[in-house]
């Protein structure tokens, strides 16, 4: 075997390897170009439903290569309920969307809008469970302060509030606390609290457990609107008697 023939065979083999590599690379590129988006994984969303997100992004039947992650993130951040988002995709055709939602503080029955922790109010046609309802009108300055203070309330505690009502404290026809609210809880209790002491409600479960241990399992009115560390509690029956007596006197 001469050297020329050996070199020629090596060149042919090398050329075949290059052709095979180009062929495989072409097939891989074609596969990814034509590969549809096989799966969409959405995490972190509570209020926004998966179908709402995918319909909004118009991802149905889209090709994998056309799923532009920076563009998708940009579109998601346009949603009022989205605080932040992370969008990635893997080589197996899966698009992963991690959502960080804005906290919803309450539904304003007067304006028919939901109020976010950012202070923004938005119209929304969905019904959210576990969202308190503010049932009456609040003066503008107090309303703004109320939102700022409510942000400091633990989300788990806030989800146990069914209704919130602006309820200034009045003595002898004189307003003594114009920043007081009444919270009706899902467990049947009522809490009076003002914006100054609103963080006290974060200890609600511990406070009520102590009340139950002392008085038994009863429902009533808990007053957390005082700067005092002593928490005043009246059961529902005593509250009803006092109201009836006042009505009789009037």
Rg (CA), the chain: 31
| 150, 245: one domain | yes
| 88, 148: one domain | no
The two tokens of residue 54 are: 């995918």
Kindly tell me the sign of the dihedral angle through the C-alpha atoms of 179, 183, 189, 190: positive
Looking up residue 148, the CATH number of its domain turns out to be 3.40.50
> Is 124 within the bounds of a domain?
no
155: three-class secondary structure by DSSP:
helix
> Is 195 within the bounds of a domain?
yes
| 142, 72: one domain | no
45: three-class secondary structure by DSSP:
coil
Average pLDDT over residues 183-207: 93
> Is 237 within the bounds of a domain?
yes
| 138, 86: one domain | no
| 147, 68: one domain | no
Q: Which of 80, 101, 122 is the last residue of a domain?
A: 101
Looking up residue 78, the CATH number of its domain turns out to be 3.10.20.310
Q: Which of 51, 85, 101 is the last residue of a domain?
A: 101
| 88, 145: one domain | no
Predicted local distance difference test score (pLDDT) of residue 125: 73
> Is 10 within the bounds of a domain?
no
| 140, 73: one domain | no
Predicted local distance difference test score (pLDDT) of residue 62: 82
Q: What are the b/e assignments for 217-245, b being 16+ CB within 10 Å?
A: eeebbbbbbbeeeebebbeeeeeeeeeee
SS3 per residue for 63-121: EHHHCCHHHHHHHHCCCCCEEEEEEEECCCCEEEEEEEECCEEEEECCCCEEEECCCCE
pLDDT beyond 90 at 199? yes
> Is 30 within the bounds of a domain?
no
Q: Which of 76, 101, 126 is the last residue of a domain?
A: 101
| 138, 93: one domain | no
Query: Is the pTM of the predicted complex or chain greater than 0.85?
Result: no
Domain hosting 76: range is 39-101
> Is 126 within the bounds of a domain?
no
| 153, 229: one domain | yes
| 233, 145: one domain | yes
Higher pLDDT, 70 or 232: 70
Predicted local distance difference test score (pLDDT) of residue 5: 60
| 141, 67: one domain | no
Residue 124 φ then ψ, to 5°: -150, 135
Mention every residue, 6+ apart, whose C-beta is less than 8 A from residue 209: none
> Is 139 within the bounds of a domain?
yes
Q: How many domains does the chain have?
A: 2
Average pLDDT over residues 158-186: 93
| 187, 92: one domain | no
Angstrom distances, CA of residue 100 to CA of 47, 145, 219, 247: 11, 25, 36, 51
pLDDT digit string, tens, across residues 218-242: 788 999 988 766 677 777 554 443 4
Average pLDDT over residues 24-46: 76
Mention every residue, 6+ apart, whose C-beta is less than 8 A from residue 134: 106, 107, 108, 109, 110, 115, 163, 164, 165, 166
Least confident of 84-98, 173-187, 228-242: 228-242
> Is 121 within the bounds of a domain?
no
Helix residue spans in the chain (DSSP H): 3-34, 50-57, 69-76, 140-150, 155-158, 204-215, 236-249
pLDDT beyond 80 at 23? no
């Amino acid at each position: 075997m001469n050297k020329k023939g050996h070199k020629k065979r090596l060149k042919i083999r090398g050329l075949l390897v290059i052709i095979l590599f180009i062929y495989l690379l072409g097939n891989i590129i074609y596969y990814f170009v034509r590969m549809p988006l096989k799966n969409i994984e959405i995490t972190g969303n509570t209020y926004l439903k998966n179908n709402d997100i995918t319909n909004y992004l118009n991802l149905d039947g889209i090709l994998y290569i056309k799923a532009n992650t920076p563009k998708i993130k940009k579109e998601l951040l346009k949603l009022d309920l989205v605080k932040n988002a992370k969008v990635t995709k893997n080589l197996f055709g899966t698009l992963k969307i991690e959502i960080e939602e804005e906290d919803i503080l309450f539904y304003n029955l007067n304006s028919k809008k939901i109020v976010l922790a950012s202070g923004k109010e938005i119209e929304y046609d969905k019904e959210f469970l576990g969202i308190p309802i503010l049932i009456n009108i609040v003066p503008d300055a107090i309303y703004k302060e109320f939102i700022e203070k409510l942000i400091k309330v633990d989300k788990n505690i806030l989800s146990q509030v069914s209704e919130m009502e602006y309820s200034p404290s009045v003595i002898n026809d004189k307003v003594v606390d114009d920043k007081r609210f009444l919270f009706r809880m899902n467990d049947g209790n009522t809490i009076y609290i003002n914006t100054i002491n609103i963080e006290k409600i974060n200890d609600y479960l511990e406070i009520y457990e102590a009340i139950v241990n002392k008085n038994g399992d009863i429902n009533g009115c808990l007053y957390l609107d005082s700067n005092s560390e002593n928490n005043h509690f009246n059961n529902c029956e005593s509250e009803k008697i006092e109201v009836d007596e006042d009505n009789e006197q009037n």
